[in-house]
Amino acid sequence: MARFQPYTEEEKASLSQKYTPEQMEAIEAGETSISAQDLATQGAMRDDEHKLPYISDLSTIDPVIDHPVTPRSRLDPQNRPQGDASTRSGRGSSSRKEEEEEDPHMKRLIRQTGYTKQQIRRLRLKSLVAHRVTNQTRMGKIQSIYHLSVAGDGKGMLGIGEGKAHEDGDARRQAMMAAIRNMKPVPRYEERTIFGEVTGKVGAVELRLSARPPGFGLRCQHLIFEMARAAGIGDLSGKVLRSRNKMNVCKATFQALMQQKLPEDIARARGRKLVDVRKVYYGGKTF
């Protein structure tokens, strides 16, 4: 309480040299409206178990740390388009029929991710790996279909998912919905390539991805090509060094894209200031 004392006349005189009379009135009104006890109790740093492990400005959204939150769309009967009675009755019956026939898996996916049905339909979905698997049990061999799919919005979000079921359609749906739920932001330099060179290793698969200049295109294996296109990366080169296992290639590519070292983090670790030479000195016209 002793730290929060009212302004003295000397402090008010020094503040009046920096601020206008209207601003001084606002400062005095704020001082009188907020009690010193509230500042002492609520202005301190939290030390409870639910505090954030880092200092962050909660008024801004960090695309790498914060999860995207999209408001859910709800069908408002008051905002339906106007028309004749037959049109309205036809649209009402069709909308009710769509609600009745809506896939329960899609409803659960919308609740889990927060995306609307239109946003999910605009995602780029592709099944990259599909094969039959067999599980040997005491009752005999149980065969299933395995799918590995990739999902992305073409603007820096990418996810992969796996699914296994007795029917091909069920396995494909499980993999695609898992990929949508697992979407994460991929760091992109100039929204077209990656930062430097990264490596990934899953099992016996080792691969290397490298950034390339504008117009280079995607010169890599077809699995890496599909994942880069889903994430919105247009200039990239990749090379698989050892095993060519398709499932592990997809997982190693996702691992490499997530493990990129950002220039800001490197500069902060070295105690330096970050300057983008290309943008500052060359106006972004050279690589």
CB atoms within 10 A of CB 94: 10
Q: State which of 28-42, 77-91, 102-116, 196-210 shows the largest mean pLDDT.
A: 196-210
What pLDDT, on the 0 to 100 scale, is given for residue 163? 96
Q: What domains, with CATH codes, occur in the chain?
A: 107-185 (3.30.160.20), 197-282 (3.30.230.10)
Q: What band does 281 get if pLDDT is binned at 50, 70 and 90?
A: low
Q: What band does 34 get if pLDDT is binned at 50, 70 and 90?
A: confident
What pLDDT, on the 0 to 100 scale, is given for residue 51? 72
Distance (Å) of CA 72 to CA 69, 85, 155, 213? 9, 29, 20, 39
Residues 125-155: pLDDT tens digits? 999 999 999 999 998 999 999 999 999 999 9
What pLDDT, on the 0 to 100 scale, is given for residue 205? 96
Beta partners for 152? Answer: 124, 158
What pLDDT, on the 0 to 100 scale, is given for residue 100? 46
What pLDDT, on the 0 to 100 scale, is given for residue 3? 63
* 19 vs 28: CA distance, rounded Å: 12
